[in-house]
A and B are shown apart, each in its own frame.
Chain A
Amino acid sequence: MADEIRVEVARYRPDKDREPGWQEYDVPLRTDWTVLDALNHVKNEVDSTLAFRWSCRMGICGSCGMNVQGEPRLSCATFLTDYAPGPVRVEPLANFPVVRDLVVDIDDFLEKLPRVKPWIIRDEEKSVDDGEYLQSPEELEAYQQFSMCINCMLCYAACPVYGLDPDFVGPAAIALAERYDLDSRDQGARQRLDVLIEAEGVYGCTFVGECTRVCPKHVDPAGAIQRYKLKAAQESVKAFLLPRAFR
């Protein structure tokens, strides 16, 4: 195995560049090095001006999402050896505006996420004295998969619908709405449906399925969205057929 690999990194310095360009770095090719290790090597040893986000290095924080060889990936979980002999291309996450180098502007996602109210909503809160909200293993299993989302936004980078129509609420937000809808402790399904039944909500999705394929936590946002569509359709039929009191 060669002892170096070439990494082609997208650079964009808003104060100097009209548009992003490429810069090449040769970094040590070590079996235990990820793309993030390579970027940190560049930052520490070669070029301290390179900008990128990262934090935990263990696939928990969701900060280090980047497009590696065209695929949205967590750079901390993407090994250099998988791209040997190279070169390996590293770009900022697709579908988001680039702030600088590999850093993208995530304001749009941060604005959309609270719209679907991803927290437990109760009609009436129990008092502390009444004890905790109990849940059976089956009730936990119903939503657990969707609770694994780390907000890394790889699904948004993979979603062509979001790329073409930035108003689309997007995969992770809808998966999180489904996560709380399926939670036996929650009573906020109606409120979320009002948001997601809009044109930019679930019906924006055309089931490309790419969000599910790239999700590092196996959340299956595409599945969540289709299940939501089914639910929304049932509600629409009920609203049409049943008097208000029976819905």
Chain B
Amino acid sequence: MSRATGDDLSYRRPVPLWWWLHKRTYFVFVMRELSSIFIAWLVLYLLLFVRAVGRGEAAYQDFLDDAASPWLVTLNVIAFAFIVLHTITWFSLTPQAMVVRVRGHRVPGIAIIAGQYAALAAVTAFVAWLVLS
């Protein structure tokens, strides 16, 4: 699309297909959106893992064998990188979306972010304890 016809001589600039490569912030945004696909994959993978555990020793061993295949390791390493990106970006955006007030005073953004990381650490520690013990 370029110029409008008729009396309107204003020029409409087309948005290029690769607009998201023009700025670092746009690129990070698109990667953050893309990370949702990998989150979905890891949820599915976790469900498959639970199903394998539920089906007994042999199924569990098969699952572990599959998990060690190079393509699955590669996929999961990439998925993990995207999950880290997803976590960091969304945690850092939370204070903009949520206004938390304690005794009439607004809680600073850094405290909200720290709270999320603390909660993540607590849940991780609990799951680690559950699995390892």
Could you tell me which A residues sit within 8 Å of B by CB distance? 12, 14-15, 18-20, 70, 94-95, 97-99, 105, 138, 160, 163-164, 206-210, 212-213, 220, 222-223, 226-227, 229-230
**B38-46, B60-68, B93-101, B112-120 - interface stretch:** B93-101
**Whole-angstrom CA separation of A206 from B30 in the bound complex:** 10
**B4-12, B49-57, B73-81 - interface stretch:** B4-12
Q: A12-B11, A19-B2, A208-B26 are in contact. Are A138 and B96 (CB under 8 A)?
A: no
Sample of 8 more A-B contacts, CB < 8 Å, known A70-B23, A208-B25: A19-B3, A97-B13, A138-B104, A163-B15, A207-B97, A210-B26, A222-B96, A229-B97
- Tell me the nearest residue of chain A to B22, going by C-beta: A70
Per the CB 8 Å criterion, the residue count for chain B at the interface is: 23
Encode contact with A along B83-123: 1 for CB under 8 Å, 0 otherwise: 00000000001001111000010000000000000000000
**Whole-angstrom CA separation of A223 from B33 in the bound complex:** 18
Determine the chain B residues whose CB is within 8 A of the CB of A227 once the complex forms: 97-99
| Nearest CB of B to A153, in Å | 15
**Whole-angstrom CA separation of A164 from B15 in the bound complex:** 7
Q: List 27 A-B contacts (CB under 8 A).
A: A14-B9, A18-B2, A19-B2, A19-B11, A20-B11, A20-B13, A70-B22, A70-B23, A97-B10, A98-B10, A138-B104, A160-B19, A160-B26, A163-B15, A164-B15, A206-B29, A206-B33, A207-B97, A209-B93, A209-B96, A210-B23, A210-B29, A212-B96, A213-B25, A223-B97, A226-B96, A227-B98
Determine the chain A residues whose CB is within 8 A of the CB of B22 once the complex forms: 70
**Whole-angstrom CA separation of A150 from B93 in the bound complex:** 24
Contact between A223 and B96 (Cβ–Cβ < 8 Å)?
yes
Determine the chain A residues whose CB is within 8 A of the CB of B23 once the complex forms: 70, 210
| Nearest CB of A to B85, in Å | 15
Contact between B19 and A14 (Cβ–Cβ < 8 Å)?
no
Determine the chain B residues whose CB is within 8 A of the CB of A14 once the complex forms: 9-11
**Whole-angstrom CA separation of A95 from B99 in the bound complex:** 31
Determine the chain A residues whose CB is within 8 A of the CB of B25 once the complex forms: 208-210, 213
**Whole-angstrom CA separation of A212 from B19 in the bound complex:** 19
**Whole-angstrom CA separation of A99 from B9 in the bound complex:** 7
Q: Is B126 an interface residue when CB atoms closer than 8 A count as contact?
A: no
Contact between A160 and B93 (Cβ–Cβ < 8 Å)?
no
Q: A160-B20, A207-B93 are in contact. Are A18 and B99 (CB under 8 A)?
A: no
| Nearest CB of A to B123, in Å | 23
Determine the chain A residues whose CB is within 8 A of the CB of B2 once the complex forms: 18-19
**Whole-angstrom CA separation of A18 from B2 in the bound complex:** 9
**Whole-angstrom CA separation of A99 from B11 in the bound complex:** 7
**Whole-angstrom CA separation of A229 from B98 in the bound complex:** 11
Contact between A208 and B15 (Cβ–Cβ < 8 Å)?
no
Determine the chain A residues whose CB is within 8 A of the CB of B33 once the complex forms: 206
**Whole-angstrom CA separation of A18 from B10 in the bound complex:** 10
Contact between A97 and B96 (Cβ–Cβ < 8 Å)?
no
Interface-centre pick from B19, B22, B25 (highest chain A CB count, 10 A):
B25
Determine the chain A residues whose CB is within 8 A of the CB of B20 once the complex forms: 160
- Tell me the nearest residue of chain A to B3, going by C-beta: A18
